[in-house]
């Protein structure tokens, strides 16, 4: 098998790439190194992948189009490339989100029209739900995005559905919930919390800290993503991929203090535009069709991320 992984130098994409390579799958990895965070960090995410002869890196900007050669050379497509982040998706940067989340997805799907037998796995986000009134939230709930980022991810979901209905492309949509673990993006909460704790700085929390998230460890996300490519019942499906339990930021910080053995000072700032109060994934559909069972509890996952962050800081 030969797989295309877009966003291969990113947090989740690099873990998925390594998992595929570990199992003997050849990987064509694509990344354009957009400037949402520093290029050296993304390059370091690819250090292990580059050790495999079965890994080919192609620096391509998907939004430029003409992607037929990439699609022709592979058996399956994992589309993880995106412009991430809720808070930075407003005003002047919205055009970047449209380009990297919607236009890029359109070009990749359009390239797949000539090979409609190739599975197309799209990485979406819990941000499509917005301020969900039902917790845990099932896939049947009408999405109400609370940020421009969420809007672009939902629009790309509909684009996948349109290409499946019109051109027969076997798409699968996965809605990831608050993914964490080693290599997490520097702007994400746990990455910031770990750095601040290691450096002895205060942790900044936007809001009162009682807001909850369904934190999902990256290895569990990778397992679900790979299952969605292998299992025929997944085609045409949309699946929540969550960690199995909601936890408040306050509780997560207390856990980090326990893991680090350090007193953590918390500084509160006003809630940011686009941040929702709570998220929680109803995962019955993924458990049924993908046989998805999250295996990593928050404490052990946060321990792994804190250890990784310490090693990075020590370099």
Asked if residue 254 is part of any domain, the answer here is no
Catalytic one of 97, 122, 129, 149: 149
CATH number of domain containing 231: 3.40.50.720
How large is the average pLDDT for residues 238-262? 96
Asked if residue 252 is part of any domain, the answer here is no
Asked if residue 203 is part of any domain, the answer here is no
Q: What is the pLDDT of residue 92?
A: 84
Q: What is the pLDDT of residue 315?
A: 80
Residue of 258, 215, 62 whose CA lies nearest to 126: 215
How large is the average pLDDT for residues 123-132? 98
> Would the pTM count as exceeding 0.85?
yes
pLDDT in tens, 27-37: 999 999 988 88
Domain that holds residue 8: 2-177+217-244+281-295
User: What are the CA-CA distances from residue 258 to residues 98, 214, 246 (Å)?
Assistant: 41, 20, 19
Q: What is the pLDDT of residue 237?
A: 98
Asked if residue 93 is part of any domain, the answer here is yes
Asked if residue 141 is part of any domain, the answer here is yes
Q: What is the pLDDT of residue 91?
A: 87
The C-alpha angle 222, 62, 233, rounded to 5 degrees, equals 40
Residue of 16, 4, 113 whose CA lies nearest to 62: 4
pLDDT at 313 > cutoff 90: no
Q: What is the mean pLDDT of the chain?
A: 97
Asked if residue 310 is part of any domain, the answer here is no
Q: What is the pLDDT of residue 40?
A: 92
- What residues contact residue 131 under an 8 Å CB cut-off, 6+ apart? 144, 146, 276, 277
Q: What is the pLDDT of residue 34?
A: 87
Is 292 an active-site residue? no
Q: What are phi and psi of 66, to 5 degrees?
A: 55, 60
How large is the average pLDDT for residues 127-146? 97
Q: What is the pLDDT of residue 210?
A: 97
Share of the chain above pLDDT 70, in %: 100
Domain count within the chain: 1
Asked if residue 208 is part of any domain, the answer here is no
Contacts 24+ apart (CB under 8 A), 200-205: 200/262, 202/265, 202/266, 202/267, 203/253, 203/264, 203/265, 203/266, 203/267, 204/266, 204/267, 204/268, 204/269, 205/249, 205/250, 205/253, 205/266, 205/267, 205/268, 205/269
pLDDT in tens, 268-311: 999 999 999 999 999 999 999 999 999 999 999 999 999 999 99
How large is the average pLDDT for residues 173-178? 98
pLDDT in tens, 73-82: 999 999 999 9
Instruction: Locate 241 and state its tokens.
Output: 């991929």
Which pLDDT band holds residue 257 (cuts at 50, 70, 90)?
Answer: very high
Share of the chain above pLDDT 90, in %: 96
pLDDT at 241 > cutoff 90: yes
User: What are the CA-CA distances from residue 263 to residues 195, 254, 255, 313 (Å)?
Assistant: 14, 9, 11, 19
Asked if residue 303 is part of any domain, the answer here is no
């Amino acid at each position: 098998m030969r797989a295309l992984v877009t966003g291969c130098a990113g947090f989740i994409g690099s873990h998925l790439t390594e998992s595929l390579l570990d199992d003997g799958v050849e990987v064509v990895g694509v990344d354009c190194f957009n400037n949402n965070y520093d290029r050296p960090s993304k390059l370091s995410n690819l250090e292990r992948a580059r050790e495999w002869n079965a890994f080919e890196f192609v620096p391509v900007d998907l939004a430029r189009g003409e992607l037929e050669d990439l699609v022709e050379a592979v058996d399956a497509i994992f589309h993880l490339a995106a412009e991430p982040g809720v808070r930075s998706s407003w005003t002047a940067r919205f055009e970047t989100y449209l380009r990297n989340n919607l236009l890029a997805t359109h070009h990749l799907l359009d390239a797949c029209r000539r090979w409609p037998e190739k599975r197309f796995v799209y990485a979406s986000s819990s941000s499509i739900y917005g301020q969900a009134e039902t917790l845990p939230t099932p896939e049947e709930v009408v999405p109400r995005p609370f940020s421009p980022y969420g809007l672009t991810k939902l629009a790309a979901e509909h684009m996948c559905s349109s290409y499946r209905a019109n051109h027969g492309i076997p798409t699968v949509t996965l809605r990831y919930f608050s993914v964490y673990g080693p290599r997490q993006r520097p702007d994400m909460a746990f990455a910031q919390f770990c750095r601040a704790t290691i450096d002895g700085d205060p942790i900044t929390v936007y809001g009162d800290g009682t807001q909850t998230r369904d934190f999902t460890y990256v290895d569990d996300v990778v397992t679900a993503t790979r299952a969605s490519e292998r299992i025929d019942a997944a085609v045409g499906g949309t699946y929540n991929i969550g960690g199995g339990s909601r936890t408040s930021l306050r509780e997560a910080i207390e856990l980090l203090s326990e893991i680090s053995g350090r007193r953590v000072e918390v500084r509160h700032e006003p809630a940011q535009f686009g941040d929702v109060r709570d998220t929680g994934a109803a995962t019955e559909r993924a458990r049924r069709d993908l046989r998805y069972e999250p295996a990593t509890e928050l404490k052990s996952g946060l321990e792994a991320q804190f250890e990784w962050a310490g090693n990075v800081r020590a370099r």
